[in-house]
Structure 1
């Protein structure tokens, strides 16, 4: 099964549309949203086409395909307008005999790793900086931000298919990848 990962939408209807178009083109089974869905956050400028209400309506059209976790900008009121749960600090997916630990990154992350076994994968957002690497015997992946990329990175999303995690730009170009051996 092919999985699609995005993070840090921050209420941008423009980038949410672009991400969902990429999801359709990728023909993935599920969408994992790694937090910060509707609110732009006090440290961020208003994103392009900032419209949390319409962004929620757009995402709700895919509710049966979304697995989401809470970001530091997400709140209970956001969950009231979304048709899928978002208030969990983390979620796990069992995939090809390994655990994918999904989180936003403000609680669990590279500096505060959850308990993972060899071969497991930490997938998080929050930093807006893409990453795909093996560290010791675990994998650390961040698909980047679809709305506010940092450090001159492009707007990116992630694809997990087979044992390869690819981070792509909105043109479908592979930006980074790691093989999950």
Structure 2
């Protein structure tokens, strides 16, 4: 199964719209966001997704977090759209996922064997590697503000590899 993955959009609405277009053109069933939307404005654009959406809260998502209450934030106009506090554990295509925003515990989580796929963001650097039996993926920065290149990834859960896509 192919899954869209993004992180660190930081209110870059133009890049977010490009990402949604790329994901829709690839007919993906799921799209994941590893945090740092920055404001709820991003959710209007995410409403154009044709895929189910799963996201988590990043360290720059205070506005989003204050509106969540105790459970996940439901995105009414995104199919099955929900945003969770991190770490968020879920299963897609018989693969156990853990999604976090910050990179601080990535290696210890990966080495623990608790998941097949670990998604993270925060560093703004695209990276993919295997750690033990866990595939570890950072899609890079969607905003393109720190490293000058806006990227997303499409993850193939059968091949356990990701393809990075530049949006510039």
| C-alpha distance in structure 2 between counterparts of 1:82 and 1:11, whole Å | 19
| C-alpha distance in structure 2 between counterparts of 1:14 and 1:130, whole Å | 19
Which secondary structure does the structure 2 equivalent of 1:160 belong to?
Answer: strand
For residue 13 of structure 2, what is the aligned residue in structure 1? 13
| C-alpha distance in structure 1 between counterparts of 2:154 and 2:44, whole Å | 24
Aligned length: 156
Residues 47-86 of structure 1 aligned to structure 2 (within 5 Å): 53=41, 55-62=42-49, 65-75=52-62, 76-77=65-66, 79=68, 83=75, 84-86=81-83
Match of 2:165 among 165, 168, 176: 168
Report the CA distance between 1:123 and its aligned residue.
Answer: 1.1
Q: Which runs of 5+ in 1 are unaligned?
A: 40-51, 172-181
For residue 78 of structure 2, what is the aligned residue in structure 1? none
Report the CA distance between 1:63 and its aligned residue.
Answer: 8.6
For residue 152 of structure 2, what is the aligned residue in structure 1? 157
Compared with structure 1, are the counterparts of its residues 6 and 93 closer, same or farther at alpha carbon in structure 2 (3 Å cutoff)?
A: same
Q: In the alignment, is residue 33 of structure 1 matched against residue 20 of structure 2?
A: no
| C-alpha distance in structure 1 between counterparts of 2:50 and 2:99, whole Å | 17
> Are the aligned partners of 2:10 and 2:143 in contact in 1 as well (CA < 8 Å)?
yes
Compared with structure 1, are the counterparts of its residues 27 and 85 closer, same or farther at alpha carbon in structure 2 (3 Å cutoff)?
A: closer
Tell me the TM-score normalised to structure 2 length: 0.76
Tell me the TM-score normalised to structure 1 length: 0.71
Report the CA distance between 1:141 and its aligned residue.
Answer: 1.2
Q: Which moved more, 1:27-36 or 1:98-107?
A: 98-107
Report the CA distance between 1:60 and its aligned residue.
Answer: 3.2
> Are the aligned partners of 2:125 and 2:141 in contact in 1 as well (CA < 8 Å)?
yes
Report the CA distance between 1:97 and its aligned residue.
Answer: 4.4
| C-alpha distance in structure 2 between counterparts of 1:21 and 1:72, whole Å | 26
Q: Which runs of 5+ in 2 are unaligned?
A: 76-80
Q: In the alignment, is residue 105 of structure 1 matched against residue 139 of structure 2?
A: no
Compared with structure 1, are the counterparts of its residues 137 and 65 closer, same or farther at alpha carbon in structure 2 (3 Å cutoff)?
A: closer
Report the CA distance between 1:128 and its aligned residue.
Answer: 0.3
